[in-house]
Amino acid sequence: MIVFKKYDLNLLSLAVFGAVFILTMLAISPSLFCQIDRREIIVGEVLGKIDPDNLIAFVEQKYYPVADNTNDIYLELREKTSDYVSYRIRYINPQKRGEVEWLSFRFFESERSLAAAIITDQIDFAVTESLEIAEEVDKSNDSVYIRHRLKPANYVKMLAINNKRTVLQNASVRKALALAIDRKYILREILKNNAFYADSPLPKESEFHASEIRDYKYNPREALTLLQSLNFLDENTDGILDKNGVPFKIYLIYEKGVLNEEQIARRIKIDWNKIGVDVTTLPLPKSEITHRLNHRDYDAILMSFEFDPTYECFEKYFRSTSPHNFLGYRSHITDMYLNIYPKQTVQSKQTVFNAIQNQISKDFPAIFLFFPWFERYFVNTSKFENYRSKTIGLLPFTEWEFR
């Protein structure tokens, strides 16, 4: 029979207690427990802005600057829940092995809750378009490094309009909705003047932008006149326009918990209410927005998109028969220009491309709002150093060093 000395029993009891504690913690929160002392970068995100199922695409696009060359590493998925995703970083070349071994993503319901986590040093990296969120973090935690980075030149904030919806099929209706939006107010009060107005999928600064396109101006009186000319009338004097006894109602979808989107959607609702359109705002997670967009199950979606200044891109998204035409846009004139473009000489192709843009501008298949200039990122400097250089700015995660 084995006889334990007194101190042996104490050690055994401690070991048993430790094992029970570990098993309990793993049962309660495996992701929290496995983060203890591991060499990890924790990225904070909002479910309304990023779909957890689409993270790798954002890594490849370097929205998350994981590595200078993504061929030097691969990410091994180790854990995934509805609000947490964790990858083990595997370095292909041992000579380029960095200190960071794990890349994890924590998802929040709102940017407010994300900001609280940044302030309390629970998050190492995050991105926002909201100046309000950046200022809130800046005044609350001196150890968070905040800088801006430029958005892609063709990154346009827009309202996708479902052209297949009966009430939205007429281009004049879509134009009226555009004219009713007070973009000057949104630019000044929400975007803090950090954007250009948009009048088409391409910015005016682009060499491929059609110079003949005229920017649409805020004109609620003209908007209402347009709708009335199409027999949208307030027949029962309830403040809402009707046509054939059916109220003009729109469900406006936006990214749930994303502050700028929430504020812009609220303002658009106010502006459309003024001309007699009944608006219900519908905040949704990104996964649901993508699903509705792909299945054309929406009225209007406040979203951002990048259109390349190429014939191929415009054919993909604006040809009537394209499976990628998420707007449901149909125009025989636009289709005609798309058909003749490939047959043109190099010199005349730009003329035809301009004609394509002009027709899209006249038809208002979507309402192009702004080209934002930049977004802001946060770095937890109490945990990391060597996260940026004077010459290239933010360094990839694989080059960050722990303090």
CA distance 62 to 98: 18
CA distance 394 to 392: 7
Which CATH code fits 35-150+375-402? 3.40.190.10
Which residues, in sequence order, are CB contacts of 179 under 8 Å at separation 6+? 216, 217, 218, 219, 220, 222, 223, 226
Would you state the pLDDT for residue 26?
44
pLDDT below 50 — which residues of the chain? 1-9, 11-12, 14-16, 19-20, 22-23, 25-35
Q: Are 292 and 253 in contact, with CB atoms under 8 Å apart? A: yes
Entry field: residues in the chain: 403
263-289 pLDDT per residue, tens: 999 999 999 999 999 999 999 999 999
342-384 pLDDT per residue, tens: 999 988 999 999 999 999 999 999 999 999 999 999 999 999 9
Quick count: other Cβ atoms within 10 Å of Cβ 72? 17
Would you state the pLDDT for residue 150?
95
* Domains in the chain: boundaries: 35-150+375-402, 155-372
pTM to 2 decimal places: 0.88
Would you state the pLDDT for residue 136?
97
Equal fold, 35-150+375-402 vs 155-372: no
Closest CA to 218 of 173, 188, 175: 175
CA distance 147 to 134: 9
Q: Are 254 and 265 in contact, with CB atoms under 8 Å apart? A: yes
CA distance 48 to 45: 9
Fold topology of 155-372: Dipeptide-binding Protein; domain 3 (3.10.105)
CA distance 397 to 125: 10
